[in-house]
Amino acid sequence: MYDVIVIGGGHAGIEAALAAYRMGCNTLLITGKIESIGELSCNPAIGGIGKSQLVFEIDSLGGVQGWVTDRCGIHFKMLNRSKGPAVWSLRAQVDRNTYKKIMREILTKSGLQIIEELAEDIITDHGQIVGVRTQKNEYHAKAIILTTGTFLSGIIHIGSNSFPAGRYGELPAYKLSTSLEKLGFKLGRLKTGTSARVKKISVDTAEMEIQTPDEIPHNFSHQTKEFNPPREPCYLTHTTEETHKIIHKNLHKSPWIKGNIKATGVRYCPSIEDKLVKFPEKMSHHVFVEPDGLDSDILYLGGVSTSLPEEVQLEFLHTIPGLERTEIVQPGYAIEYDFVLPTQLYATLETKHVKNLFLAGQINGTSGYEEAAAQGIMAGINSVLSLKNKEPFILSRSSAYIGVLIDDIVTKGTEEPYRMFTSRVEHRLTLRQDNADERLMKYGRKFGLIREDSYKKVEKIRDEVQNVIKKLKKTYLGEKDISKFKNIEPGISLFTLLKRPDIDLNVINQFIEDIPDKIVEKVQILAKYDGYIQKEEEIIKHFLELEEKKIPKDFDYRMIESISNETKDKLSSIRPLTLGQASRIPGIRPNDIILLSIWLKKAVGNVTF
């Protein structure tokens, strides 16, 4: 008997298994192929806009995605530098094989048990998880975390060639879909895709625009001590008029156009066929040429995901500058797969149908390595807390990108692969990647996933930042000092001066002693956005008032006489845990929330406005 069984060795499964094991549970990881643990199924990159924030948050909770990225990254770049710090986003190209190797080593050396089998059936008893059947054995557990990625009834499409697969070269999990349906879960169907991988020697990068990494790179993890990564370039080229002619001529060979793929695709990462149909006015599209690793002879072609036949892929690639003689190592393909409609989950990622069954990653309708890993660590933590009869761990929308991600999918559901963007986050000014440790490391420490010395280091930096800010606020400029600046009145504090866009701490260092480099950026952000942050904190305070008003899981919405049957059905289906979550259910009106609060006060006596 295991405490926790995790099914799937992808990004969600890795974080879930490690969290459960490190929190003291006897943990088993079941994966179809041990060699594929930590596989980067699409492009070899971690982070990016809206995603780096998730990686920093995972790291602050004690996850490993950021740490492994720091160890095998070959190209680090801070995106959105021309904009405000709320949307700065770190992105790293990684060595694909090294990433897998390190992840596999971390898991195998951790002490948790790993077996290579294919899960087929979830075993329950009176709505409670019991275990799982594989092709060979039966394993019992008190909690199970499903992290199946694209493997649930997965089918790959390359032109007219379609075949069962969870990933290129790996078998899908058909029987597991049937098992979930028998348990009463509603499943949907989604589609994603990948671009061709080509021989490096067959590509002429001299014809392409070089994309250089940052000269002074930032890293993701607090665990990283020394950081001096390789600085491999990436390249940018583009499709041409001839490219588009070939694709248009062969659209009838695309399984998406022919209607062979019924599933919904990724709106924000469409296939090249999709782009040409939806944006016919665009004369060219970017093609990102990304190295697969330091010693790899493969390049990944981002931006030209496709399900066209391999010979057509080769034909249109040959019309792209720098790819005229390219050779395909692995063709691009589309993959469709089952997912569980995520409104059937609580915010803990536990299912409403089966106690102590948790779902994380693409099985919940999300897309991306970072979104999967974020759900994985949350499911791992909550599975352990459930077994120990402790309060669940739920991050609010105002406390983390992870909170927004989970709240979005369990409250609103999704009809397409969900991808995280900064625009989804209402309080992004206070939920920056640079302060993830200050926001979340206390929880990682509480659960035993963060070392005490790491937490103390964050506390020390936070105190140093506040001390510098206090000093800036108490230091005022006199008549002699203001002569160095334009349009400045005497008596202004250094803190107020720092709010000006043309002033930074290098200027202010002439008035006070040097400020340590490690806290310069934090001080400048807090000073320049001081007014906005204060307003944001007031909004969050009001938001939290609704979030603090709890709703019992078994509350009977049918007793509320003054709301419509449609509203009762929505509330009964989603089963929100707070009034705040209830207010975000599509179709729920402000008056419904007021009436709900009145009835809650009658029923449980602890809800007030």
Query: Using one digit for the tens of pLDDT, what is the confidence trace for 276-314?
Result: 988 889 999 999 999 999 999 999 999 999 999 999 999
Kindly state the average pLDDT of the residues 15-35: 97
pLDDT at 408: 97
Name the fold adopted by 2-193+336-446. Answer: FAD/NAD(P)-binding domain (3.50.50)
Q: Please state whether beta strands 298-302 and 197-199 pair in parallel, antiparallel, or not at all (unpaired).
A: antiparallel
Share of the chain above pLDDT 90, in %: 79
pLDDT at 609: 39
Q: How confident is the model at residue 607 (pLDDT cuts 50, 70, 90)?
A: very low
Q: Is the pLDDT of residue 411 over 90?
A: yes
Structural domain spans, the chain: 2-193+336-446, 197-334, 457-528, 548-604
Is 318 within 8 Å of 326 (Cβ atoms)?
A: yes
Is 384 within 8 Å of 17 (Cβ atoms)?
A: no
Is 18 within 8 Å of 112 (Cβ atoms)?
A: yes
Residue pLDDT, tens place only, 415-432 = 999 999 999 999 999 999
CATH number attached to the domain at 548-604: 1.10.150.570
CA pair distance 41, 63, nearest whole angstrom: 20
Q: Is the pLDDT of residue 326 over 80?
A: yes
Residue pLDDT, tens place only, 70-79 = 999 999 999 9
Write the CB contacts of 3 (distance below 8 Å, at least 6 apart in sequence): 20, 25, 26, 27, 141, 142, 143, 384, 387
CA pair distance 419, 152, nearest whole angstrom: 19
SS3 for 89? strand
Q: How confident is the model at residue 543 (pLDDT cuts 50, 70, 90)?
A: confident
Share of the chain above pLDDT 70, in %: 99
Q: What is the 3-state secondary structure (H, E, C) of 308-338?
A: CCHHHHHHHHCCCCCCCCCCEEECCEEEEEE
Kindly state the average pLDDT of the residues 454-461: 95
Complete edge-to-edge strand list for the sheet that includes strand 89-94 = 45-47, 89-94, 73-79
> pTM score, two decimals?
0.94
Kindly state the average pLDDT of the residues 476-501: 84
Is 288 within 8 Å of 303 (Cβ atoms)?
A: yes
Q: Is the pLDDT of residue 604 over 70?
A: no
Residue pLDDT, tens place only, 56-113 = 999 999 999 999 999 999 999 999 999 989 999 999 999 999 999 999 999 999 999 9
Kindly state the average pLDDT of the residues 230-254: 96
CA pair distance 246, 71, nearest whole angstrom: 41
Residue 75 per-residue DSSP state: E
Sign of CA dihedral 193, 199, 203, 205: positive
Q: Is the pLDDT of residue 608 over 50?
A: no
Name the fold adopted by 197-334. Answer: Elongation Factor Tu (Ef-tu); domain 3 (2.40.30)
Residue pLDDT, tens place only, 338-376 = 999 999 999 999 999 999 999 999 999 999 999 999 999
Q: How confident is the model at residue 401 (pLDDT cuts 50, 70, 90)?
A: very high
